[in-house]
Amino acid sequence: MASFKELVFSGVQPTGNLHLGNYLGAITKFVALQNSHDCIYCVVDLHAITVPQDPAALTANIREVTAAFIACGIDPKNHIIFNQSQVPEHAELAWVFNCTARLGWLNRMTQFKEKAGKDRENASVGLYAYPALMAADILVYRATHVPVGEDQKQHLELARDIAQKFNNDFSTSIESNGFGDGFFPLPEPLIQGPATRVMSLRDGTKKMSKSDPSDYSRINLTDDADAIAQKVRKAKTDPEPLPSEEKGLEPRPEADNLVGIYAALSDVSKADVLAEFGGAQFSTFKSALVDLSVAKLGPIGAEMKRLVADPAYIDSVLADGSERAGVLARKNMNAVKDILGFIRR
């Protein structure tokens, strides 16, 4: 396999209710990777329309995710922040990948099964083909590293399968076009730390999610201090004090989740948190968690509010990022066309 320049790509859907899971599972990783890598972070609006969206709300949500990226510390000048629909090569490469991916591969995707639910016949074709678009997002930049939460692992595996099959199917053409023995890298998922799967505050066996009807199930990045405090205090727990060892968390999903959140927010391990709070009652631990959450998330929410109030600035960030992303995507898409044997201007 040819060697590729390391490049980070990831995306977040603009579907509202950006929450602590998105922040700890993904966005904090995006921020950290800026120090070591070139990074491209995308507001994936084409993915959002795989389920119905209200156009005015979608516009607002695209700006809100952009504001969250900036408020959390992503630098739109040294890296790239943009929205997917402004770079048409994502959709173009997705079509090519629709012809690379096999039905059998897509049939295995658990997220489609969950999202389509019982009424599968009525799900959009886009929802089904979604993982091919996700592979295109990453591979149109030939990105090598993809920070995501645990729930995206299966999609990343599919992206690797697609890259591998494309490289195999067109190996002769790839070589004769001067790309050595592989055009696409096999992108590596980066899924690390104590909060790769943040769970609902109401049910420790369910993922924290944007679409949970109960707002008490999640902490939104735009929640104020009072809302954060209320949600943490009401979070489901059990009657036992916290254990001193991680093993003691295993049969206790709600305790495990809150300890994981605390660990991730303070950038330590769960073992460190238990060394401090082992034996403590939840009332004590929750007070500390409220203080920590408000200290970490309060300034982010305030900055998001400030940014969202200036849509012209947000839109200019997206325009600039899309311009720069577009240059990279076009170059790779042209190469894909040459490899496929298309005639182009």
Which CB sits closer to ligand TYM, 137 or 256? 137
CB of 264 to ligand TYM, least distance (A): 9
Residues that bind ligand TYM (CB under 6 A): 9-13, 21-22, 25-26, 44, 47, 134, 137-138, 146, 148-149, 151-152, 155, 196-198, 207-208
Q: Which residues are catalytic?
A: 115, 207, 210
Concatenated DSSP letters for 118-182? T-GGGS-HHHHHHHHHHHHHHHTTT--EEE--GGGHHHHHHHHHHHHHHHHHTHHHHHHTT-TT-
Which CB sits closer to ligand TYM, 175 or 188? 188
Among 65, 62, 68, 67, CA closest to 85: 62
CB of 24 to ligand TYM, least distance (A): 6
CB of 178 to ligand TYM, least distance (A): 27
CA distance 216 to 220: 10
DSSP state of 236: -
CB of 196 to ligand TYM, least distance (A): 6
Number of other CB atoms surrounding residue 186 within 10 Å? 18
Residue 321 · residue 70 · CB < 8 Å: no
DSSP state of 115: H
Residue 144 · residue 9 · CB < 8 Å: no
List residues bridging with 157 in a β-sheet: none
8-12: strand order across its sheet: 80-83, 39-43, 8-12, 145-147, 188-190
CB of 240 to ligand TYM, least distance (A): 24
Residue indicated by tokens 């489609």: 112
